[in-house]
Structure 1
Amino acid sequence: MATYLLRRLLLIIPTLLGVLLLNFAVMQFVPGGPAEQLLSQLSNKESRMAGGPTARALDPKQIAEIKALYGFDKPAPERFWQMIGQFARFDLGTSFFQHKAVWTLIKEKLPVSISLGLWTFFISYLIAVPLGVAKAVRAGSRFDFVTTLIVLIGYAIPGFVLGVALLVVFGGQLQWFPLRGLTSPNWDSMGWGARIVDYLWHITLPITAMVLGSFAVTAMLTKNSFLEEIRKQYVLTARAKGLSERQVLWKHVFRNALIPIVTGFPAAFIGAFFTGALLIETLFSLDGLGLLSYESVIRRDYPVVLGTLYLFTLIGLVTKLISDLCYVWVDPRVKFD
C-alpha cells in the first residue's frame, strides 16, 4: 500500500505539468490576449481624440511597455517555467483585469459554488440511492420501466437546456421564481426566517437543473449493484436459513452493494463544487467559480485561468487517489499489488 501510495503521489507531478503545458501552449495561439486588448483600447482612444480613423499608430516604446506590463516581453518557455515556480509555492498570481490575487478571487466565489455543490450532492444521493434500491427490488416491473424512462430522459437533457426551460417557464412566464442571484437585494435587512425562505426560493431553479441530470448515473449504478448482489450464492443461503426479505436486503445485500457507491463519494463530493456548474452559474447569474472561469476565459485573464486550472486539477488528482484508497477501506479484500 505504501509503495502504491508513493507511486500515485509521484505521478501527480508529471500529470500536472502535462495539463498546464498543454493549456499554456494553446493560449499562445489564441488571438486577443490581454496586451492586444489594451493596445486595441488605446488605439481606439487615440482615434477618437484625433477625430477619425486616421490617428497615428501607437509608439513602439509604448507597445513594449504594455507587453512588459503583462510579462509578454519574455519568451514563452521562460514564462512557463516562471509560472511553474510560482505554482510550486502555491502562488497563483494576480488577475490582469480585477487586480486581485487569484486566491482572493477563489475565496470570494467559493461560497456560491459550495452552496450549489452541497445541495446538488446531497439531494442527488438522497434521491438516487433509495430509487436504485427500489428499482432493483422491483426489477422488470412497470415501476422499474417508468422510472428508468424518466431517469434516462432527465440524463439526456443537458443541465443548461433544462435551466433555460425553467427560466422561461417558471421565471419568465409564471414569475414564480427569481431569474438571477442567490438572494434578494434587501436580504441583509430580513429576519433569519425570511432569509432562509428567500435563499431557498432563489436556489430552486438552478439546483433543479443540476440535480435532474446528476442523479441518473448513481440511481442506475445502485440498481445494477443490488441486482448483482441479489443473484449471488450467499443471498440464496440467507433465504434458505429463513431470514426475511427485509433482513436479507438490508443486512447482507445493502452493505456489499454500496461498495462502488461509497467509494465514489469523495470524487462526487468534490466534483459537485468544481464541475458542471459553469453554464448554470452563467445562466442564472450566480457569482461563483463557474462564472469566474467563464469570464476569465472570455477576457483572456490568463493568471486566473491557469491558476484555477492548476488548483482544480490538483484537487481532482488527490480526490481520485482518495477514491481508490476507499476501496481498500470499504473492502479489505482489494489489493493494489
Structure 2
Amino acid sequence: MKRFLIHRTISSIRTFFAIITLVFFLARVTGDPLAELENDPRMTPEVLAAIKALFGLDKPLHEQYFDFLRNLFSGKLGYSLHYMRPVEELIAERLPYTLALLIPSITLSNYLAYRIGVEAGWRRGSKFDVAFISVSIFLRSVPYFWLAILFLYIFSVTLGLTPLFGAISPGKSFSWSWDWFADYLWHYALPFTVLVFRATLALVLYVRNTVVDILGEDYIVTAFAKGLPDKDIKFKHAARNAMLPIVTILGMRYAFLIDGAILTETVFSYPGTGRLVFEAIYNRDFWLLQGVVVILAASVIIVNFIIDIIYAFLDPRVKYR
C-alpha cells in the first residue's frame, strides 16, 4: 500500500506541474491584455511602462513563468487586471458558491444514477428499460448550456417561478437569517436542477450496462439457482458489485461536472468560479484565468487521488499493478 501511495502521489504532482505549465502558456495565447490601453490616446508611455512592470509583462516569458511558480508556492496567484484585486481574494469569494453547487449535485446525481441504473439493468429488455435507454441517449446528447437555457426559458421567462440570474436578489447582503437563505435557495434551485439532471444522465447508462454485465456472471447465476430472493440478488450481489467499476469513472465525472458548472454558472450569471473563468476569458485577464484553472485543476487531481485510494481499498489487486 505504501508503494502504491508513493506512486500515485508522484503521478499527481507530475500531472499538476504539467497542467499549470500548460495553463500558463495557453493563457498567453489570448493576446496582449494591455492592447486596449496601448491604443488609448490618453495613455502615456510612462504609465503604460509602470503597468507592465506591475504585472511583470516587461520580463521575458521564461522569467514570468518562474515568477508565476514562485508566487504560486507562496500562496499568491497574481493580480487581476480587470478587477485590480489579488486573484486569491476573488477565488475565495466565489469558491463557496461553486462548492455549494457542486458537492450536493455530485452526491444526488450519483445516488439517482445508481438507483435508476440498477433498476434498469435488473429489468433489462423490458418496456421500462427500452424507454429508459431511448430517453437517456437523447437527453444525454443535449449540451449543458442548451439545457440551462431551456430550463431558464421555461421556469423563469415563461412561468416566472425562478429568478433569471444571480445567487441572491439585488440589495441583499449575506446574513445568518432564514430570509437570506430562502432567497439563496430560490436562485439556487434551477442551476442545481440542471447540473443534477445532466450529471445523472451522464452516469446512469454506465450503471445500467454494468449491472447487465454482472447479471451474466457465474456467481449471479448460482444465486438464482440456489433460489435466493430477487431482492437479495439485486442489492446484495448485483448492485454491490456494480459499485466497483462505477468508482473508476467518478474522478472523470467530477472534471466533466466542473465543465458543466462553468457553462451553467455563465448562463444563470451565478457568481461562482465557473462564471469567473468566463469573465477572465472575456476580459483577457490571464492572471485571473490561470489562477482559477490552477485551483480547479488541483481539485480534480485531489479528487482522483482520493478515488484511487478508495479503489485500492475496494479492490486490493490494484496495489500490485
Give the TM-score normalised by the residue count of structure 2. Answer: 0.89
Check 1:188–1:101 CA distance in 2 against 1; reply closer, same or farther (3 A cut): closer
- 1:212 correspondence with 2:211: no
- 1:136 correspondence with 2:121: yes
Matches within 5 A, 1:48-197: 59-185=44-170, 195=180, 197=182
- 1:304 correspondence with 2:288: yes
Report deviation, 1:184. 2.9
Partner residue, 1:246: 231
Distance (Å, rounded) in 2 between the aligned partners of 1:71 and 1:235? 64
Judge conservation of contact 2:27–2:290 (CA < 8 Å) in 1.
Answer: no
Among all aligned residue pairs of Structure 1 and Structure 2, give the percentage whose two residues are the same amino acid: 30
Q: Once superposed, what is the RMSD of the aligned Cα atoms? A: 2.6
Report deviation, 1:31. 2.5
Structure possessing the higher radius of gyration over alpha carbons: 1
Report deviation, 1:266. 5.7
Query: SS in structure 1 opposite 2:106?
Result: helix
Query: SS in structure 2 opposite 1:242?
Result: coil
- 1:63-83: CA deviations, max 9, x gaps? 322321221111111111111
Uncovered stretches (5+) of structure 1, i.e. residues with no partner: 47-57
- 1:249-306: CA deviations, max 9, x gaps? 222222211112245456656864x432112111111111011111112222222211
With 96-105 and 262-271 compared, the bigger mean Cα shift is at 262-271
Judge conservation of contact 2:254–2:300 (CA < 8 Å) in 1.
Answer: no
Distance (Å, rounded) in 2 between the aligned partners of 1:306 and 1:198? 32
Check 1:30–1:222 CA distance in 2 against 1; reply closer, same or farther (3 A cut): closer
Distance (Å, rounded) in 1 between the aligned partners of 2:146 and 2:7? 42
Judge conservation of contact 2:266–2:274 (CA < 8 Å) in 1.
Answer: yes
Check 1:213–1:69 CA distance in 2 against 1; reply closer, same or farther (3 A cut): same
The residue identity in structure 2 corresponding to 1:282 is: T
- 1:224 correspondence with 2:209: yes
Check 1:190–1:287 CA distance in 2 against 1; reply closer, same or farther (3 A cut): closer
Report deviation, 1:151. 1.3
Give the TM-score normalised by the residue count of structure 1. Answer: 0.85
Distance (Å, rounded) in 2 between the aligned partners of 1:159 and 1:270? 14
- 1:260 correspondence with 2:245: yes
The residue identity in structure 2 corresponding to 1:7 is: H
Distance (Å, rounded) in 2 between the aligned partners of 1:216 and 1:261? 14
The residue identity in structure 2 corresponding to 1:142 is: K
Query: SS in structure 1 opposite 2:260?
Result: coil
- 1:121-158: CA deviations, max 9, x gaps? 13312321111011011101111111111111221111
Partner residue, 1:52: none
Report deviation, 1:117. 0.9
Distance (Å, rounded) in 2 between the aligned partners of 1:319 and 1:188? 32
Count residues in correspondence.
321
Query: SS in structure 2 opposite 1:275?
Result: helix
Uncovered stretches (5+) of structure 2, i.e. residues with no partner: none
Query: SS in structure 1 opposite 2:22?
Result: helix
Check 1:13–1:191 CA distance in 2 against 1; reply closer, same or farther (3 A cut): closer
Matches within 5 A, 1:288-327: 288-327=272-311
Distance (Å, rounded) in 1 between the aligned partners of 2:176 and 2:69? 48
Judge conservation of contact 1:264–1:323 (CA < 8 Å) in 2.
Answer: no
Partner residue, 1:49: none
The residue identity in structure 1 corresponding to 2:22 is: L
The residue identity in structure 1 corresponding to 2:5 is: L
Check 1:113–1:27 CA distance in 2 against 1; reply closer, same or farther (3 A cut): closer
Query: SS in structure 2 opposite 1:179?
Result: coil
Judge conservation of contact 1:160–1:209 (CA < 8 Å) in 2.
Answer: no
- 1:39-74: CA deviations, max 9, x gaps? 334x2xx3xxxxxxxxxxx55444322321221111
The residue identity in structure 2 corresponding to 1:171 is: S
Check 1:102–1:270 CA distance in 2 against 1; reply closer, same or farther (3 A cut): same
Query: SS in structure 2 opposite 1:140?
Result: coil
